[in-house]
Amino acid sequence: MLLSPLGLSQSSAAFSRSRARTAVAILVGACVMVFAAAVYWAALLNSHSYLRSYTQDQAWVRVTQMSRAIAAHVGSMFSGLDYTLRDLARDYETGERSTFLRGVQALQTTYPSGTVVQVAVADAQGRVVYSSLNTSEQPPEVVSIDDREHFQAHLKASPPSGMYIGPPVQGRVSQRWSIQLSRALHDRQGQFAGVLVLSLSPQFLSQQLQSIYDNPRDVILLLRDDGTYLARSQRQEEVLGRRVSADWQVMLSAAAEVQGSYGPVTGPDGIQRLYAWSRVHDYPILVSTGLDSQAVHDPLNQAIAQSLWRNGLGTALIFLGAMLTAWLAFLRWREEGQRLQSEQRFARLSQEVPGGLFQYGLDAQGNGVLLFSNPGFYAVHCIDATAAHGDLQALVRRVHPADVRGLRASIAQAIEGRKTWVHKYRVVCPVGGTRWLHGHAQPQPEQDGALLWHGYILDVTQDEALQNALRQSEERLRLTIGAVRDGLWQWDCEKDTVVWDARCYEIVGRPDQSLGALGLSGFVEQLHPADRARVCARLEQHLAEGEPFRVEMRLRQQDGGWRWVESRGEVTLRDAQGRALRMLGMHSDIQERVDQTHLVSALLDRGSALVLVASHERQMVYANQRAAEYFGLDPHRPPEPLSFRVMHGSQESFERFGPLYQRLKTEGVVRAEWELRGGDGRLCWFDMQGTLLDPSDPEGNVIWTLFDVDARHRAEAELAQTRLRMEAVIDRFPSGILVSDSRGQTILAANDMLVSMLDVPLPVSDLVGQRLQHLVEHLPADLAELVNADAQCAGQAEGEPGRMLYALPSGRHLEVDRWPLRKDQRDLGWCWVFHDVTDYKQRESQLEALATSDPLTGARNRRAFLAQMDMKLERLRLGMGRSFALIMLDVDHFKRVNDTYGHAVGDEVLKQLVVAVTKELRKEDMLGRLGGEEFAVLLAGLDQDVALKRAESLRQTVERLRVEVPGQAPIRFTVSLGVCVVAHSDVSVALCLERADAAMYHAKRHGRNRVTCWSPSLSELDAA
């Protein structure tokens, strides 16, 4: 088709519409991307909010549990002080002053120094009549406490109350801050006779509270119900004598609640904390614990900040990519406009080209279609372009009848072979006779797979006439050089006609002389593309400067192959200005010689190796093509003498390479890997093999064969660095690391922390690479069984991540995590991580002991004992446990011990009793102190007969016990025991305690120091 202004205008309009659609698509894509980013950020921020809420909830759970445990411990402590005050008050009321003084002394020695500030007695008018601080025989100075709260509380109390816990005050006798624990005194008629006061140091309570928390920013408060501070774990001196704020009093004033939480609240020290409080059972005291809010939230906030930074960077990169895409679209628009402009220029240019241009292709049915043609195409065929535009039949009608079949055959052959079309044919013009036309078209594949031929048609009528004349002259010349096997050629420079003789056509395998008349361009088309520039350059030098024209080149054969020919020629005729008019020459067939040369070249240049030849002075004398390209040499010219020094990275490398030449002289062959510098200055590793070119001449040249191994060298170096970094991470990891292969059989990695933690008597170097069983042999039996079980799961590809807690015989506790190592669904191995959690378990055990043990004897306290008994009874009722026996144990005449020796000795008696009884119990048995000198024992899984024997054994053990008293004879004492066997039909703990208690009192009434078993008949005898 012809390119017209109308066609170009339509193309411009289509381009504008396409540009508008692309702009709309970019705008819509930008809106979608902004919306997607908004949705993603909303989801991200929502997940951050959930993590903050979850962290807050876990902190509340922790602080609540701490407040409960500390409240239980404080309750046990105040219960013991209450019991001591009651005994002292009874001794004072009965008038046994010596017993009272011994009890005061025992109280002060039982607790750490400074815990009890003083013990004082005030009469009914509030005058202090006794103070433990007054050690002189002189009567104390009259001091009155009738205005103190702890005195007024008993003065106005009706009926008499128990122990009263007063606020911290500065003592008028001691001049120190103390908490006043007081109990009313009464005369024999029951009238109010005064107050017994125990002044407890707040500093002692503060030190006890400080030992619980590790973080100095956490706080524990001990408060009265009215909000008065009793003690504070830190900064206590700022709150003594004060109350909590009104807001806190409102939160703590709900008497019906035993525990609660509040916060976050900022304390007097300016630190914001999460608080939880619990009431102390049986006492008007609250324990409030506060966790530092900043310590709870800081790790999460840092992680969220990093997440926001990374996601923000990712979002910015995505938007940057979108902007880059828009920029590329803009460049596409600009290129499309430039293409349209180029088409317009080509349309104008094609109208000025001599001859005709065309584009030929096939439609969907396989028929030939003329897709493009310029006006000159129709002019050379003697056809009106406007009348026969695109009409192939009109063109065929112009072709000479004798050439139609050949033309069709050449077109069909080009289409079938998808190759270049070249053909010469005649057309018959209405005016002017016959014309010779030469056509040439090159196939070009399109993006959709279609194949188009782009070509030209030239009028070669004059050239054809010249060729006929040349053929006649050639025939005459052939008779002259008949014995010569070279072909003769002639070039008419003015008419641009190249004529070959038959031998030339025979050389290229065209005995039918199918090429016809050739111009210089046609001759160049027959040359190999790689030879065209070189041949043309030699020809121009000969025409312009008279240089001899002798060149080796490849000519296209009829079968599509190439034939090596040596062409020689000379200008035989020039005009007055020296321009060449005619040139004559010969073609010689050199294919056999070139094949031999190429065979040698293939061995050296086509292989993957770099080949160098060096003299014994280490000068390069030859380089194959690959070596020349790598070292920056001209592959078409022999290298000038060049020292091997330029290929080495340094002088030191060049000198170290020298001894290899000495080895060559003695061994004949040498091989090494070396780093050499290429033409671009980059250093690469090569596997080099040197061989003497002449084995009989050690001083002769050396052939070096080089293979590029740089990638392998660098990969090995990077792998070594990666392995070193990984080993450093494992060695410095704060926990024990053990890595095995995917079958769980071989140890791949371990660190010193693992060896130290597990007490393995081997260094890490002796473990890595060994079988896992080699390590297991040095582990405790239980831990070895755990590792073996994990290894078996790993070997069967059934193992999953897990965590276990394990106690070592040394007393340490380990937490063991196990993970499978996988990548792209491929098992790489297994990893065990051993964490030392001994400190954590010890703190946990300390808190549990504080909440469940009696502070004096170390036995279970009443609450813990009853809870354990209730759990055993419930399991018995559900059929999940065995029957058990309950023994009630009471010290006979214990008050006599206190009255005679003092409370300190009495406390020592109770301690020795617990030690002796505990030694007689089994691991599954339990001892508890229910109050005063009364104890209880749970014997698991025993019937009545065995329980009686065990109780009798305990009685005899206590009977043999001796308690040493300095300066006096050892104390001997006995116990009375009541036994009750608990069955699944028993309904409550209280009933079981009542039965065992009845049996114990039966033993006391019948002589003490004996064992009695409860039965229904026993209740009837007691009633009688």
Nearest in space to 1013 (alpha carbons), one of 949, 928, 938: 949
**Which residues is 767 bridged to in the sheet?**
none
CA 978, CA 954: separation in Å to the nearest integer? 12
Q: Pairing relation of β-strands 702-708 and 736-740? A: unpaired
Asked if 817 and 787 count as a contact pair (C-beta separation under 8 A), the reply is: no
Q: What DSSP string describes 537-551? A: HHHHHHHHH---EEE
Here the tokens at position 648 are: 């080495």
Torsion of CA 503, 505, 508, 511, to 10 degrees: -100
Residue 551 Rama label (left phi>0; alpha psi -120 to 50; beta): beta
Q: Which of 421, 945, 740, 929 is nearest to 937 (CA)?
A: 929
The length of the chain in residues reads 1024
Question: Is residue 933 flagged as an active site residue?
Answer: yes
Q: In 10 A of CB 763, how many CB atoms?
A: 11
CB 973, CB 881: distance < 8 Å: no
Alpha carbons 977 and 998: distance in angstroms, whole number: 10
CB-facing half-sphere around the CA of 926: CA atoms within 13 A: 21
**From the centroid of its chain, how far is CA 935?**
57
Helix (H) or strand (E) run with residue 737 in it: strand 736-740
Q: Which residues contact 438 (CB under 8 A, 6 or more apart)?
A: 423, 424, 457, 458, 460, 463, 516, 517, 522
Smallest CA-to-CA distance from 339 within 19, 2, 27, 21 is with 19
Helical (H) or strand (E) element with 745: none
Nearest by Cα to 120 from 137, 138, 136, 143: 143
- Single out the residue of 620, 630, 454, 485 nearest to residue 565, CA to CA: 485
H or E element that contains 57:
helix 5-93
| Burial classification of residue 574, based on how many CB atoms lie within 10 Å of its CB (0-12 exposed, 13-18 middle, 19 or more buried) | middle
Whether the Cβ atoms of residue 118 and residue 199 lie closer than 8 Å to each other? yes
CB 169 within 8 A of CB 177: yes
In the structure encoding, which two tokens stand for residue 757, read together? 């933690």
Closest CA to 974 of 961, 989, 987: 961
Coil, helix or strand at residue 1021: helix
Phi and psi torsions of 972, nearest 5°? -115, 140
CA 902 from centre of chain: 67
Cβ neighbourhood burial of 950 (10 Å; 0-12, 13-18, 19+): buried
* CB hemisphere CA count around 880 (13 angstroms): 6
592: Cβ–Cβ under 8 A, 6 or more apart, which residues? none
Instruction: Select which of 343, 416, 933, 934 is catalytic.
Output: 933
User: For 631-691, where are the alpha helices, taking DSSP H only?
Assistant: 651-667
* Nearest to 1003, CA basis, from 847, 892, 916: 892
Q: Which residues contact 893 (CB under 8 A, 6 or more apart)?
A: 973, 1008
Active site positions, annotated: 933
